[in-house]
Amino acid sequence: MIEEERGNELSPRTVEAVTLWLMNLNAQSVQAEPMPSTSELVRYLSGALPPYEISRVEKAVLTHPASRKTLRVVRMELLRLEALPWAEVGTVASGDGLSAEIAAAWLVLVAERIAAAEQLPARWLKEGWRELYQHFLEAAVEASIAWSTFIAFRRHWASTPMIPRPAFVRGSGEELAERQSVDLGEEVSCRAWFISALNSEGSLAVSLSLEDESGDAVTIFDGRALRLSLKTGTELWPLGEAVIEKGKAGWTLDEFAAVMKVSAEKLHANSFHIVFADEEETADRLPASLRVDVLDSAGRIADKSFHLSFMDWPHWKGGQFFARVELPQEMLQRYPSFQLRLEITVSGDHNQQLGAWTLAGENDSPRTLKASCPGSPDSTLSNITLIRAQLRPPQ
For residues 320 and 369, is the Cβ–Cβ distance under 8 A? no
Give the amino acid at 214: S
For residues 30 and 54, is the Cβ–Cβ distance under 8 A? no
Question: What is the predicted pLDDT for the residue at 319?
Answer: 95
40 and 111 fall within a common domain: yes
User: pLDDT averaged over the chain?
Assistant: 78
In a domain, 4, yes or no: no
In a domain, 1, yes or no: no
The DSSP symbol for 364 reads -
Helix (H) / strand (E) element for 194: namely: strand 191-199
For residues 15 and 100, is the Cβ–Cβ distance under 8 A? no
Question: Of the candidates 151, 147, 198, which has an alpha carbon nearest to the alpha carbon of residue 172?
Answer: 198
Q: How many residues does the chain have?
A: 395
User: How far from 120 is each of 84, 132, 197, CA to CA, in Å?
Assistant: 27, 11, 27
* pLDDT, average across residues 284-312: 85
40 and 78 fall within a common domain: yes
As a 3-state breakdown, the chain gives helix, strand, coil percent values, each rounded to 5, of 35, 30, 35
The residues that bridge with 289 in the sheet, in sequence order, are: 309
For residues 382 and 282, is the Cβ–Cβ distance under 8 A? yes
310 and 246 fall within a common domain: no
Question: What is the predicted pLDDT for the residue at 252?
Answer: 85
Q: Which range has the worst mean pLDDT, 74-78, 120-124, 164-168, 336-340? A: 164-168
Distance in angstroms (rounded) separating the CA atoms of residues 263 and 18: 34
- Residue with the bigger pLDDT between 163 and 72: it is 72
For residues 319 and 372, is the Cβ–Cβ distance under 8 A? yes
Domain final residue, candidates 105, 129, 159: 159
Q: How many domains does the chain have?
A: 4
110 and 125 fall within a common domain: no
In a domain, 2, yes or no: no
In a domain, 7, yes or no: no
> Is it the case that residue 7 has pLDDT exceeding 60?
no
Domain final residue, candidates 281, 309, 338: 281
* CATH number of the CATH domain containing 220: 2.60.40
Q: How are beta strands 272-276 and 225-232 bridged, if at all?
A: antiparallel
> Is it the case that residue 2 has pLDDT exceeding 80?
no
pTM of the model: 0.70
* pLDDT, average across residues 27-47: 77
296 and 349 fall within a common domain: yes
146 and 198 fall within a common domain: no
Q: Which of 186-190, 241-245, 282-286 has the highest mean pLDDT?
A: 241-245
357 and 299 fall within a common domain: yes
Question: What is the predicted pLDDT for the residue at 3?
Answer: 39
For residues 38 and 105, is the Cβ–Cβ distance under 8 A? yes
Domain final residue, candidates 281, 315, 346: 281
> Is it the case that residue 164 has pLDDT exceeding 60?
no
Question: What is the predicted pLDDT for the residue at 30?
Answer: 47
In a domain, 341, yes or no: yes
198 and 262 fall within a common domain: yes
276 and 294 fall within a common domain: no
Question: What is the predicted pLDDT for the residue at 25?
Answer: 55
Distance in angstroms (rounded) separating the CA atoms of residues 96 and 104: 10
Phi-psi region of 173 (alpha: psi -120 to 50; beta: other; left: phi over 0): left
Question: What is the predicted pLDDT for the residue at 268?
Answer: 64
Distance in angstroms (rounded) separating the CA atoms of residues 58 and 53: 9
227 and 243 fall within a common domain: yes
174 and 268 fall within a common domain: yes
Question: Of the candidates 345, 139, 335, 169, which has an alpha carbon nearest to the alpha carbon of residue 268?
Answer: 169
Residue numbers of the domain that contains 239:
170-281
> Is it the case that residue 19 has pLDDT exceeding 80?
no
Cα angle 161, 163, 165; round to 5: 140
> Is it the case that residue 27 has pLDDT exceeding 60?
no
In a domain, 83, yes or no: yes
260 and 306 fall within a common domain: no
Contacts of 124 by beta carbon, 8 Å cutoff, 6+ apart = 132, 146, 150, 237, 238
In a domain, 254, yes or no: yes
Predicted confidence band of residue 374 (pLDDT cuts 50, 70, 90) = very high
Question: What is the predicted pLDDT for the residue at 132?
Answer: 63
User: How far from 349 is each of 6, 8, 219, 273, 365, CA to CA, in Å?
Assistant: 9, 15, 47, 27, 31
In a domain, 17, yes or no: yes
226: helix, strand or coil: strand
Question: What is the predicted pLDDT for the residue at 177?
Answer: 44
> Is it the case that residue 147 has pLDDT exceeding 80?
no
